[in-house]
Amino acid sequence: MNTVSTPPPYPHRTIKSWVRRETTLSSKEQDFLDCSPFALKSLEDLIAKMHQIVNLGKPLFLDMGCGDGQSTLQLAKWAPDAYIFGIEMHTPGLLKCLLKAHSEGLSNVFLFQGDILDVLEASESLIFDRMHLYFSDPWPKSHHHKRRLVQLKFLEALKPHMSSKTIVHIATDWAPYSEHIRSVLNMCQEWLNYRSQHPSNTINLEFKRNPTKYEKKGLAKGHVISEFYINLSETPNS
Ligand SMILES: C[S@@+](CC[C@H](N)C(=O)[O-])C[C@H]1O[C@@H](n2cnc3c(N)ncnc32)[C@H](O)[C@@H]1O
């Protein structure tokens, strides 16, 4: 058995939206991860793969904090012509997603273990057709609010990756986080539009996800799901 810990914190970022966890993988699991061409081993490999997809003229989707990849796999089946990049800090979720993608014969899912903020920074001006953030950790305690992923700096990090046809889709079941997201989005109204329904005049079709594990948990507790569809404000409103 090998023990894998999450990668060391990046020195320039002190507040994390994720928690460090130790993970134990069997040697078979470790080999599978090490040998899979769909598990990208470094930021450089990830960015090179993304550029390769763009050069093929194929749509590029990003599933940010993809967990065990339930929505990543759904997206891959919904849009077989697109390439989905699932980014997640923790190995077990990535491994589960990779195994499922392999057993279902999906070849348009690539996974990377790392912090989405580092990925956004390193991918510079690569344009994504869709960027999804589903059920991001709500960090409910007030002294943890600074750890929520959706902050001004996160939206600003998304901006260079958006074109007029890009849709950013955020969903949460935690009402106070939803309010927080709304207030941060309101700070960016100069350059973005958001609404609770998929804009009807985009060339992107609406992706209707099946509830993920976290979404189901929220629904079982009677939580209401908030959806935010975000695009650049140059795009005419519906
Ligand atoms: C509550 S889970 C939701 C997973 C999945 N999106 C779903 O709906 O099932 C949130 C995930 O985001 C990951 N995460 C949090 N911050 C992250 C970051 N900065 N970069 C990458 N993953 C992150 C966590 O490790 C966790 O697995």
User: CA-to-CA distance for 234 and 199, rounded, in angstroms?
Assistant: 13
Neighbours of 168 (CB within 10 A): 24
- Ligand 1 midpoint to CA 237 (Å): 30
Does ligand 1 come within 6 angstroms of the Cβ of 138? Answer: no
Does ligand 1 come within 6 angstroms of the Cβ of 85? Answer: no
**Strand 167-172 versus strand 130-134 pairing type:** parallel
> Considering only CA atoms, which residue is closest to atom 13 of ligand 1?
65
Residue 224 sits at the vertex; the CA angle it makes with 221 and 225, to the nearest 5 degrees, is: 115
- Ligand 1 midpoint to CA 40 (Å): 18
Name the residue of 88, 118, 221 whose CB sits within 8 Å of the most ligand 1 atoms, as the mutation to test its pocket.
88
Does ligand 1 come within 6 angstroms of the Cβ of 111? Answer: no
**Pick from 100, 113, 85: which is nearest to 21 by CA?**
113
Query: Are 46 and 115 a contacting pair, CB within 8 Å?
Result: no
Q: Which residues are catalytic?
A: 137
User: In a structure prediction context, what are the per-residue pLDDT tens digits for the chain, which is 238 residues long?
Assistant: 444 555 554 556 788 998 878 888 899 999 999 999 999 999 999 999 999 999 999 999 999 999 999 999 999 999 999 999 999 999 999 999 999 999 999 999 999 999 999 999 999 989 999 999 999 999 999 999 999 999 999 999 999 999 999 999 999 999 999 999 999 999 999 999 999 999 877 778 899 999 999 999 999 999 999 999 999 997 544 4
> Who contacts 185 (Cβ-Cβ below 8 Å, separation ≥6)?
155, 192, 194, 228, 230
Q: Provide the token pair at 171.
A: 């969903």
- Ligand 1 midpoint to CA 137 (Å): 7
Exposure on the CB side of residue 230, measured as CA atoms within 13 A: 27
Beta strands in 51-178 (DSSP E): 60-64, 83-88, 109-113, 130-134, 167-172
SS3 232: strand
Neighbours of 49 (CB within 10 A): 17
**Pick from 116, 114, 138: which is nearest to 215 by CA?**
138
**Ordered strands of the 226-232 beta sheet:** 39-40, 109-113, 83-88, 60-64, 130-134, 167-172, 226-232, 192-195
Does ligand 1 come within 6 angstroms of the Cβ of 150? Answer: no
For the CA of 117, the nearest atom of ligand 1 = 19
